[in-house]
Every structure is written in C-alpha cells, then in structure tokens.
Amino acid sequence: MEPRADGAKTVCHETPPSLEKDGFRAQLAVHAGGRVLLRSIQGSDMTGSFSETRAAALAQLPESTGLDGVM
C-alpha cells in the first residue's frame, strides 16, 4: 500500500492479490498473416485456451498490435 498525502493508504489495482481475483495478466499480439499470440506474464502460450479472444483480436485489431492487461 502506498501512503497518500493525507496519511490514508491506497492500493494500486495492479497488486498481486487483486490480479488473482480479477483474472489473468496477459499480453496479446496480432502479427502479420493472421497470427495471434496470447501469452501469460510468465511467457506461456495461452492462445489455444482462449479461442474467442483470438477470433475477436483477428476481427477487430490491425496487424502489428500489442496489448497488455488483465483478462
């Protein structure tokens, strides 16, 4: 927790406990030729486990796009 100027403590939404509750931290990349890669923060390929996310990325994102966030 980070102390604020008024002495109250705040919790960043990126703390490990909140990530465990909110979902998976992942990186998504759309490459040329329709290749999509969805990786865990440790680098494991999760693309096969999220086929709907892969299809949505192909349909909605241009090539050479990279995203990082929580799913």
pLDDT in tens, 15-43: 555 555 667 789 999 999 999 999 998 89
The token duo for 38 is 């969805």
Q: Taking the chain, what is the end-to-end CA distance rounded to the nearest angstrom?
A: 23
Alpha helices in the chain (DSSP H): 16-22, 51-60
The token duo for 62 is 């241009």
Domain extent listing, the chain: 24-71
Q: Is the pTM of this model over 0.85?
A: no
Share of the chain above pLDDT 70, in %: 69
Q: How far apart are CA 36 and CA 62, in angstroms?
A: 11
Give residue 6's pLDDT: 58
